[in-house]
Structure 1
Amino acid sequence: MSIWISKFLFPALLLAACVPATTGGGSGASVSFLNGEIRAVPPSGYCTDPRASHDSGQGAVILMGRCPGKGAAVPALITVTLGAPGSSAVLKNGAKALSDYFVSPPGRAALARDGRPGSVRVAKTALSEGALVLRVEDRAVGGYWRAVLGLKGRLVTISVMAPEGASLPEEAGREILERTMASMRAANRSAAAKPAATTD
């Protein structure tokens, strides 16, 4: 589990660091990735930035930010990472196994911007309609929310963090995460793979 999850998470963190708080010329409507297999629909007030996103054909990193002119939306960076076909099989190990991995040194190293487990603390874990939700505290980027779920057989992570130089209240970040999960599930009409066990 540890090796390929590390490969899955790290590119998303690097790309997220490059995205401004407000996207330029992004789209709040559906944008297709992976040859049309997955549709990305951001929550209301946010737009997908196709220019900053990356689609390899096997996986994708989709970046979203506040739409231009949407001053009422809380500034936030939303990163949606799509794994390879069949990658959601890791969820069959159950939420407890996945949660245990992320709080372990290898899991915290996978989450850390600098790759060091001591740089990250997993402050909270929870389940939300089958998705594993983590509150992560990273020395490099501060606190942010991350969800791990399955869509159409692909492992998907969704992260919500504050833009550089801004703050994002914890409750607001969690709300944006939940709204993003809901919009992605609705757009793809696919129930997320549900882990078999609960977490504390």
Structure 2
Amino acid sequence: MSTGMKSGAGSVTAGLRGLLGLGLVGLGLAGCVMTGSAPRSMPALNGALTLSAPSGFCLDTEGSRADSSQAFAIFGTCAAISGVAAGPAARQPAVLTATVRADASLSQPLDKSTAMLEKFFRSAPGRAALARDGKSASVKVLSVRAAPGLFAMKLRDTSASTGTPVAQDYWRGVIDVRGYLVSISVLPVLSAPVGDADQRALLVEFAQQIAQQNKAGSAPTAAASK
């Protein structure tokens, strides 16, 4: 894989901007997109990783995309995606996203990179990368929580969303999976609000699912949701 982010702080932040820009800028969030069964996972980076969601969530195959250098996966509740109510119910009625790029990695472990990550995400370029409309003024970092295996942020994004209306306040995280940075998010649906603690718990479950799917060594623990 590329080590472009390992050459210094400038390349690290450039890689982060590319990683974050894959998903939420101009994102068309899914509603009911198909009938029948729906997959729960998607191969990424030519099969180097697999992006998957917790029980009760299924892949929106129309909204997701992947090639050899990057991937973006969007998951909704299986009932919404497949149009079939049978099967395990999702923990919360939210939209989940995961993004990864082949050149997005860190020069040191994630748990030792929290100060750099927080500085970047609170900066104007970092907030612009997080915003759906690409404008730094649209995003405010409300809080940051760093736990083993997961760097998590509560964000407020006032830019418009397309597709399924989602809440302005949501949780987003960064995990390190076998040397690749993966950005994940939990976006509550406006019509079915999700409490803050439940959002964090779902973010941790999402991170654990991806780590376990890829047999990563440092899966976040339940303590990360506290």
Question: Which of the five TM-score ranges fits, normalised by the shorter chain?
Answer: 0.7 to 0.9
Q: Which runs of 5+ in 2 are unaligned?
A: 1-11, 80-84, 160-166, 221-226
Q: Summarize the Cα distance change of 1:185–1:71 in structure 2 as closer, same or farther, 3 Å threshold.
A: closer
Using the TM superposition, name which of 71-80 and 39-48 deviates more: 71-80
- Pick aligned residue for 1:47 from 53, 58, 67: 58
2:151 paired residue number: 132
Measure, in 1, the Cα distance between the counterparts of 2:14 and 2:50: 27
Q: Which runs of 5+ in 1 are unaligned?
A: 195-200
Structure 1 residue 160 and structure 2 residue 186: aligned? yes
1:166: Cα distance to partner? 4.2
**For each residue in 1:148-184, what CA deviation from the matched residue of structure 2 results, as whole angstroms up to 9, or x when unmatched?**
1211221110011023544332222111111000111
1:198 paired residue number: none
**RMSD value, Cα:** 2.5
- Pick aligned residue for 1:170 from 159, 182, 196: 196
Measure, in 2, the Cα distance between the counterparts of 1:91 and 1:99: 15
Using the TM superposition, name which of 115-124 and 174-183 deviates more: 115-124
- Pick aligned residue for 1:66 from 77, 84, 103: 77
Percentage identity across aligned positions? 29
Measure, in 2, the Cα distance between the counterparts of 1:43 and 1:117: 31
1:27 paired residue number: 39
3-state SS in 1 of match to 2:24: helix
Q: Summarize the Cα distance change of 1:133–1:46 in structure 2 as closer, same or farther, 3 Å threshold.
A: same
TM-score normalised by length of structure 2: 0.75
Q: Is the 8 A contact 1:23 1:67 kept in 2?
A: no
3-state SS in 1 of match to 2:30: coil
Q: Is the 8 A contact 2:72 2:100 kept in 1?
A: yes
Structure 1 residue 114 and structure 2 residue 140: aligned? no
3-state SS in 2 of match to 1:146: strand
TM-score normalised by length of structure 1: 0.83
1:39: Cα distance to partner? 1.8
Q: Is the 8 A contact 2:45 2:102 kept in 1?
A: no
1:64: Cα distance to partner? 0.8
Q: Is the 8 A contact 1:40 1:48 kept in 2?
A: no
Structure 1 residue 57 and structure 2 residue 68: aligned? yes
2:211 paired residue number: 185
Q: Is the 8 A contact 1:16 1:63 kept in 2?
A: no
